[in-house]
Structure 1
Amino acid sequence: MTPRTMPESLSWLPDGTPFSTRFGDRYHGEQGLAQARDVFLHGCGLPQAWAGAQQWRILETGFGFGLNFLATWAAWRADPGRPRLLHFVSLEAWPVPADALLRAAERHPELLPLARELHAQYWGLLPGVHRLWFEGGRVLLTLCVGDAQALLRQQLWEVDSVYLDGFNPQCNPDIWSLETLKAMARHCRRGTRLATWTVARSVRDALAQCGFAVDKVPGLPPKRDNLQARFDPHWQPRTSRQAPEFARPARCLVLGAGLAGATAAASLARRGWQVTVLDAGDTPAAGASGLPAGLFAPHLSPDDNLFARLSRAGVRAMLQQSQALLQEGIDWSPAGVLERRPAGQPGLPAGWHDGPGADWSHTADAGRLADAGLPPDASACWHARAGWVRPPRFIARLLEQPGIAWRPRSAVARLARGAGTWQALDGAGNPLAEAELLLLAAGPACNALLAPLQAPPLPLQPVRGLMSWGPQPAQAQGLPPFAVNGGGALAAHVPCDGGPAWHMGATFERDVDRLPMTAEEQAAAHASNWRRLRALVPAAVPALRAAFEDGQGLRAWAGVRCTAHDRMPIVGPVAPAALPGLWVSTAMGARGLTRAVLCAELLAARLMGEPLPVEARLAQAMGCERL
Structure 2
Amino acid sequence: MAEPIHWLDDGTPYSPRFNDRYHSEQGAVLAQAREVFLQGCGLPEDWAGQPQWRILETGFGFGLNFLVTWAAWRADPQRPKLLHFVSLEAWPVAADDLLRVACAHPELAELAQALAAQYWGLLPGVHRLAFDGGQVLLTLCIGDAQALLRAQEWTVDTVYLDGFSPANNPDLWSLQTLKGVARCCRRGTRLATWTVARPVRDALTQCGFTVAKVPGVPPKRHNVQATFDPRWEPRKARPAQPPVEAASQCLVIGGGLAGAAVASSLARRGWQVQVLDRAKAPAAGASGLPAGLFCPHISPDDGVISRLSRSGIRVLLAQAQNLLQLGVDWQPSGVLEHRVEGRLGLHPQWHDGLGVDWSHEALAHQLAAASLPPDATACWHVRAGWIRPARLVAALLAQPGIVWRGGAEVARLHCTEVEGCIQWHALDAQAQVLAQAPMVVLAAGFASRALSGEHLSLQALRGQISWGVQDAALDAALPPFPVNGEGNLVTHIPLGDGRRAWYLGSTFERDIHTLPPTPAERVQAHAANRQRLSDLLPGVLPALEPAFTSALEEVSADQPLPAHAVQGWAAVRCAAPDRLPMVGPLDSAALPGLWACSAMGARGLTLSLLCAELLAARLHGEPLPLEAKLAQALAAERL
* Coarse TM-score class (shorter-chain normalised): over 0.9
- 1:344 is displaced (CA, Å) by 4.0
Return the alpha-carbon distance in structure 2 between the equivalents of residues 535 and 263 of structure 1.
35
Task: Determine whether 1:496 maps to 2:495.
Answer: yes
Q: Identify the residue that residue 533 of structure 1 maps to in structure 2.
A: 533
- 1:540 is displaced (CA, Å) by 2.3
**1:68-113 Cα deviation digits (max 9, x unpaired):** 0000000000000000000000000000011101101122111011
Residue type matched to 1:25 in 2? D
Give the conservation status (yes or no) of the 8 Å contact 2:340–2:535.
Answer: no
Return the alpha-carbon distance in structure 1 between the equivalents of residues 179 and 92 of structure 2.
24
**1:25-72 Cα deviation digits (max 9, x unpaired):** 111111211100000000000000000100000000000000000000
Q: Give runs of aligned pairs for residues 541-620 of structure 1, distance below 5 A.
A: 541-551=541-551, 552-620=564-632
Give the conservation status (yes or no) of the 8 Å contact 1:297–1:311.
Answer: yes
Task: Determine whether 1:11 maps to 2:6.
Answer: yes
Give the conservation status (yes or no) of the 8 Å contact 2:103–2:112.
Answer: no
Q: Identify the residue that residue 54 of structure 2 maps to in structure 1.
A: 57
- 1:525 is displaced (CA, Å) by 0.3
Between stretches 342-351 and 553-562, larger displacement belongs to 342-351
Aligned-partner SS, 1:583: strand
Return the alpha-carbon distance in structure 1 between the equivalents of residues 452 and 535 of structure 2.
43
Q: Identify the residue that residue 624 of structure 1 maps to in structure 2.
A: 636
Between stretches 13-22 and 358-367, larger displacement belongs to 13-22
Residue type matched to 1:85 in 2? L
- 1:625 is displaced (CA, Å) by 2.7
**1:266-303 Cα deviation digits (max 9, x unpaired):** 11111111010000001111112111111110001000
Return the alpha-carbon distance in structure 1 between the equivalents of residues 480 and 629 of structure 2.
38
Give the conservation status (yes or no) of the 8 Å contact 2:340–2:486.
Answer: no
Seq. identity, %: 64
Structure 1 residue ranges without an equivalent (≥5): 1-5
Return the alpha-carbon distance in structure 2 between the equivalents of residues 473 and 617 of structure 1.
48
Task: Determine whether 1:122 maps to 2:124.
Answer: no
Residue type matched to 1:386 in 2? A
Q: Identify the residue that residue 433 of structure 2 maps to in structure 1.
A: 431
Give the conservation status (yes or no) of the 8 Å contact 1:473–1:543.
Answer: no
Return the alpha-carbon distance in structure 2 between the equivalents of residues 545 and 9 of structure 1.
52
Return the alpha-carbon distance in structure 1 between the equivalents of residues 383 and 103 of structure 2.
28
Query: Which of 344, 347, 350 lines up with 1:349 in the alignment?
Result: 347
Residue type matched to 1:569 in 2? P
Q: Identify the residue that residue 368 of structure 2 maps to in structure 1.
A: 370
Aligned-partner SS, 1:118: helix
**1:167-210 Cα deviation digits (max 9, x unpaired):** 00000000000000001100000000000000000000000000
Give the conservation status (yes or no) of the 8 Å contact 2:340–2:485.
Answer: no
Q: Identify the residue that residue 200 of structure 2 maps to in structure 1.
A: 203
**1:112-131 Cα deviation digits (max 9, x unpaired):** 11000000000000000000
Give the conservation status (yes or no) of the 8 Å contact 2:191–2:226.
Answer: yes
Return the alpha-carbon distance in structure 1 between the equivalents of residues 276 and 571 of structure 2.
19
Task: Determine whether 1:86 maps to 2:88.
Answer: no
Give the conservation status (yes or no) of the 8 Å contact 1:479–1:539.
Answer: no
Q: Identify the residue that residue 272 of structure 1 maps to in structure 2.
A: 270
Structure 2 residue ranges without an equivalent (≥5): 552-563
Aligned-partner SS, 1:538: coil
Q: Identify the residue that residue 458 of structure 2 maps to in structure 1.
A: 460
Return the alpha-carbon distance in structure 2 between the equivalents of residues 222 and 64 of structure 1.
20
Return the alpha-carbon distance in structure 2 between the equivalents of residues 319 and 245 of structure 1.
28
Q: Identify the residue that residue 479 of structure 1 maps to in structure 2.
A: 478
Return the alpha-carbon distance in structure 2 between the equivalents of residues 32 and 14 of structure 1.
17
**Root mean square deviation of aligned Cα:** 1.0
Return the alpha-carbon distance in structure 2 between the equivalents of residues 187 and 540 of structure 1.
55
- 1:418 is displaced (CA, Å) by 2.1
Between stretches 617-626 and 87-96, larger displacement belongs to 617-626
**1:583-616 Cα deviation digits (max 9, x unpaired):** 0010000110000000000000000000000000
Displaced runs of 4 or more, over 3 A: none
Residue type matched to 1:388 in 2? W
**1:429-460 Cα deviation digits (max 9, x unpaired):** 11111111100001111121122xxxx53221
**1:509-556 Cα deviation digits (max 9, x unpaired):** 111112111100000000110111122122322331221112434211
**1:556-587 Cα deviation digits (max 9, x unpaired):** 11011111111110001011011110000100
Give the conservation status (yes or no) of the 8 Å contact 1:70–1:114.
Answer: yes
Q: Give runs of aligned pairs for residues 286-435 of structure 1, distance below 5 A.
A: 286-342=284-340, 344-419=342-417, 420-435=422-437
Residue type matched to 2:574 in 1? C
- 1:497 is displaced (CA, Å) by 3.8
Return the alpha-carbon distance in structure 1 between the equivalents of residues 538 and 407 of structure 2.
43
Return the alpha-carbon distance in structure 2 between the equivalents of residues 515 and 264 of structure 1.
26
Q: Identify the residue that residue 446 of structure 2 maps to in structure 1.
A: 444
Query: Which of 19, 25, 36 lines up with 1:24 in the alignment?
Result: 19
Give the conservation status (yes or no) of the 8 Å contact 2:253–2:441.
Answer: yes
Residue type matched to 1:522 in 2? R
Query: Which of 165, 169, 172 lines up with 1:168 in the alignment?
Result: 165
Give the conservation status (yes or no) of the 8 Å contact 2:296–2:381.
Answer: yes
Q: Identify the residue that residue 507 of structure 2 maps to in structure 1.
A: 507
Between stretches 496-505 and 134-143, larger displacement belongs to 496-505
Return the alpha-carbon distance in structure 1 between the equivalents of residues 238 and 124 of structure 2.
24
Give the conservation status (yes or no) of the 8 Å contact 1:258–1:285.
Answer: yes
Return the alpha-carbon distance in structure 2 between the equivalents of residues 109 and 52 of structure 1.
29
Return the alpha-carbon distance in structure 1 between the equivalents of residues 470 and 97 of structure 2.
45
Return the alpha-carbon distance in structure 2 between the equivalents of residues 138 and 309 of structure 1.
24
Aligned-partner SS, 1:101: helix
Give the conservation status (yes or no) of the 8 Å contact 1:156–1:241.
Answer: no
Give the conservation status (yes or no) of the 8 Å contact 1:62–1:92.
Answer: yes
Residue type matched to 1:600 in 2? A
Between stretches 269-278 and 9-18, larger displacement belongs to 9-18
Q: Identify the residue that residue 103 of structure 1 maps to in structure 2.
A: 100
Return the alpha-carbon distance in structure 1 between the equivalents of residues 10 and 581 of structure 2.
51
Residue type matched to 2:149 in 1? L
Between stretches 238-247 and 570-579, larger displacement belongs to 238-247
Q: Identify the residue that residue 556 of structure 2 maps to in structure 1.
A: none
Give the conservation status (yes or no) of the 8 Å contact 2:440–2:593.
Answer: yes
Return the alpha-carbon distance in structure 2 between the equivalents of residues 57 and 457 of structure 1.
33
Give the conservation status (yes or no) of the 8 Å contact 2:413–2:426.
Answer: yes
- 1:241 is displaced (CA, Å) by 4.3
Give the conservation status (yes or no) of the 8 Å contact 2:37–2:65.
Answer: yes
Query: Which of 240, 256, 259 lines up with 2:254 in the alignment?
Result: 256
Return the alpha-carbon distance in structure 1 between the equivalents of residues 238 and 455 of structure 2.
26
Aligned-partner SS, 2:440: strand
Give the TM-score normalised by structure 2: 0.96
Q: Identify the residue that residue 3 of structure 1 maps to in structure 2.
A: none
Q: Give runs of aligned pairs for residues 91-240 of structure 1, distance below 5 A.
A: 91-240=88-237
**1:470-501 Cα deviation digits (max 9, x unpaired):** 21122313111100010110001001143100
Q: How many residues align?
A: 618
Return the alpha-carbon distance in structure 2 between the equivalents of residues 28 and 422 of structure 1.
54
Residue type matched to 2:573 in 1? R
Residue type matched to 1:445 in 2? A
